[in-house]
Amino acid sequence: MSDKDWELFKQKLHVKSGINLNDYKPAQMQRRIGNMMSRHGAKGYLDFFGKIEANPKLYKEFIDFLTINVTEFFRTPEKFDELEKRVIPDLLKQSSKLTIWSAGCSIGAEPYSLAIMLNELTPYSKHRILATDLDVEMLAKAKLGVYTTNELKNIPPARLNKYFKQADGVVTIGDDIKARIDFQRHNLLVDKFESGFDLILCRNVVIYFTEEAKDGLYRRFFTALKPGGVLFVGGTEAILNFRDIGFQHYLPFFYRKPV
């Protein structure tokens, strides 16, 4: 498969989806896409593009595959424990009403986890939780709030009974928690950022981004945070140049903007 075909494939995909593969590590992307092409019998990048353009179901499968929509409630429970017992209480000392952004929220498990946590920490306060994702299909699932038992495996029975409705093998988030999330479509690499956030979560989103794309993204997160605000990243996504950006180390995988 030629470099010319790869470049043309990237251009066509950018026009169709808004996803710019130039911001992703080429070797990893070519390997991932190549595996999917082989499964669907594509003879090359342009043949594969023709297939996804002609088949909406395959296109959706490809976008899901590309954007790595794998998540669960309270993913990495020990980090959510730190969030609940240390990070959010510290942030509440600065402001009684928090503004939080779940960037790359996928099916909504992360922002709903935050809403549950905040309801227990501050039962009489209303906080703003913005939840964004590039994938409109995932956002639709998030707004629906219906989940599998595997996605709920980290939730203790008391919370499950309190915040979810269970009927006929289907588990749905309660309307009160659902109403606390502002879901919006957003491309982290292209669209403008809001500002004034106390906490930004961007976990397991940037795994295939280039170092340049990641650096630009983290600098924009820094600008979007309030002084004293915190960025929470995934367990394989430590920011090695956090000091150059302006962050202070707070806890492992938590970075704070100086006051």
Q: How does pLDDT run along the chain (259 residues), one tens digit per residue?
A: 578 899 999 899 988 887 888 888 888 888 889 888 999 999 899 999 999 999 988 988 888 777 665 678 988 889 999 999 999 999 999 999 999 999 999 999 999 999 999 999 999 899 999 999 988 888 999 999 999 877 888 898 899 999 999 887 789 999 999 999 999 999 999 999 999 999 999 998 888 789 999 999 999 999 999 999 999 998 888 899 999 999 999 999 999 999 9
Q: Which two tokens mark 250?
A: 């707070």
By CB atoms closer than 10 A (0-12, 13-18, 19+), residue 11 is middle
Please, what are the domains in the chain? 3-67 (1.10.155), 77-256 (3.40.50.150)
Contact 229, 201 (CB under 8 A): no
pLDDT of residue 76: 86
- The type of residue at 123 is P
Cα–Cα distance for residue pair 209/201, rounded to 1 Å: 17
pLDDT of residue 71: 73
pTM of the model: 0.80
Question: CA angle at residue 25 from 52 to 110, to 5 degrees?
Answer: 75
pLDDT of residue 1: 59
pLDDT of residue 68: 65
pLDDT of residue 70: 60
pLDDT of residue 181: 97
- From the CB of residue 216, how many other CB atoms can be counted at a distance below 10 Å? 15
